[in-house]
Amino acid sequence: MIEIKDLHKSYKTGASSLHVLKGINFSVKEGELVSIMGSSGSGKSTLLNILGMLDEADEGTYTLDNFPIKNLNEKVAAKYRNKFLGFIFQSFNLINYKSALDNVALPLYYQGVGRKERMDKSFAYLEKVGLADWAHHLPNELSGGQKQRVAIARALASDPKVLLADEPTGALDTKTSYEVMDLIQGINDEGKTILVVTHEDDIAHMTKRIVNLKDGVIIDDSRVNQVRAIENV
C-alpha cells in the first residue's frame, strides 16, 4: 500500500539547515495497523506529513497504492488527499461552526457527492462511532473523546485507502484514549490500513507493528502482539 525508499527531508532555519529525515526505507501492506514512535524531534511528524501529502520530501520516492507521489501541484495533491487519505489530528481540527454531521460530510462535499447521499453517509459513519445522537451538536458541545470520534468518522467518510493519525490520543485522558484506540482497532479489523504517530508506549502496543524513529532514521521496526484496548478500559 505504502512504499517509501530513501526518503530525505531537511528544513532551512536561517543559514543552517536541519536534516530531519535521513534516508527512510519503509513499506506498509494493506490492512496493517502501524505505529510510528519516537521522541520529539525524531522526525515522526515530518514523516507523517509527507505520507499525508501535506509536505514534500527532498529526495526519495513515495508510492501510495501504486501511484507515485512526486511533484504534485496543489490541485492534484488536494484530489489525492481527498481520495486516498483520511486524517486524524491530535487537536481534532473540526470546523467549530459546523455541526458534527456537517463536519463529517465535508470530505464528501469536496468529492462532489450530492447533499442527500452525503448526509446519509455521514450519519451512518457517526452511528458507527457511536455519536448518532450528537449529529447536530457543534464541536464545542462535545467532549474531547467525542470530538475525536467525529474526526475519525470524518476521516472515514471519504472511504480512504489509508488513515493517518497524528497523536490521536495526545489530548485525551487514558480512559478516553483507550476508547478511541478501541475504535481505531475496530476499523483496522475491518481491513483499513492505519498509521498512528504516538510517543506513548501503551498506545503503540495497541497496534500490530511499531516503527521506532530516532534522529531521522528507523532504528527498529518490529511486529508486536497487539493489546486489545477494550481490555484496559
Partner 1 sequence: MFSLERWEEIFDTIRKNKLRTFLTGVSVASGIFILVILLGVSTGMQNGVQSQFQRDAANRISVWTGVTSVEYKGLNPGRRIQLKNRDYDLADRKYQDQLEYKSALYRIWGGLINYKNESGNYRVEGVLPDYQFLESATLTDGRYINYSDNDEYRKVAVIGKKVYNDLFKDKKSAVNKFIEIRGVLFKVIGVYTDPGGEREEARVFVPLKTSQKVFGAGEDLGGLAFTLPQEENFDQAVKTSQEFTAKLAKQLKESHTIAPEDESAIRISNSLENMKTVYDMMRNIRLFFWFVGIATILAGVVGVSNIMLIIVKERTKEIGIRKALGAQPLSVIGMILHESVFVTTIAGFFGLLLGMLLLEFVGPMVETDFISNPTVNFQVAITTVIILIFAGAIAGFFPAWKAARIKPIVALRDE
Interface positions with partner 1 (CB under 8 A): 49, 52, 54-55, 74-75, 78-79, 81-83, 87, 89-91, 93-95, 97-98, 102, 106-107, 109-111, 115, 154, 158
List, in sequence order, every beta strand (DSSP E) within the chain.
2-13, 16-28, 33-37, 59-64, 67-68, 85-88, 162-166, 193-197, 209-214, 217-223
Cα 27 to chain centroid, rounded:
16
Closest separation in Å from C-beta 64 to partner 1: 15
Q: Which of 166, 170, 124 is nearest to 144 (CA)?
A: 170
User: Which one, of 168, 176, 231, lies nearest residue 204 by Cα?
Assistant: 168
Q: Give least dist CB 11 to partner 1, A.
A: 12
Using the minimum distance from each CB to partner 1, give the nearer residue, 103 or 193. Answer: 103
Residue whose CB is less far from partner 1, 111 or 226: 111
Q: Least separation, in Å, of the C-beta of 205 and partner 1? A: 25
Q: For residue 94, with 0-12 CB atoms within 10 Å meaning exposed, 13-18 middle and 19 or more buried, which class applies?
A: buried
Residue closer to partner 1 by CB (options 122, 212) is 122
Cβ proximity to partner 1, 115 vs 175, nearer residue: 115
Nearest to partner 1 of 86, 216 (CB atom): 86
- Residue closer to partner 1 (CB basis): 90 or 176: 90
Place of cell 485507502: 161
Are 42 and 216 a contacting pair, CB within 8 Å?
A: yes
Q: How far is the CB of 233 from partner 1 (least distance, A)?
A: 27
* 94/124 Cα distance (integer angstroms): 18
User: Which three cell numbers mark 176?
Assistant: 478516553
Task: Output the smallest distance, CB 39 to partner 1, in A.
Answer: 17
Strand partners, 37: 212
CA–CA separation, 199 vs 217, rounded Å? 16
CB of 107 to partner 1, least distance (A): 5
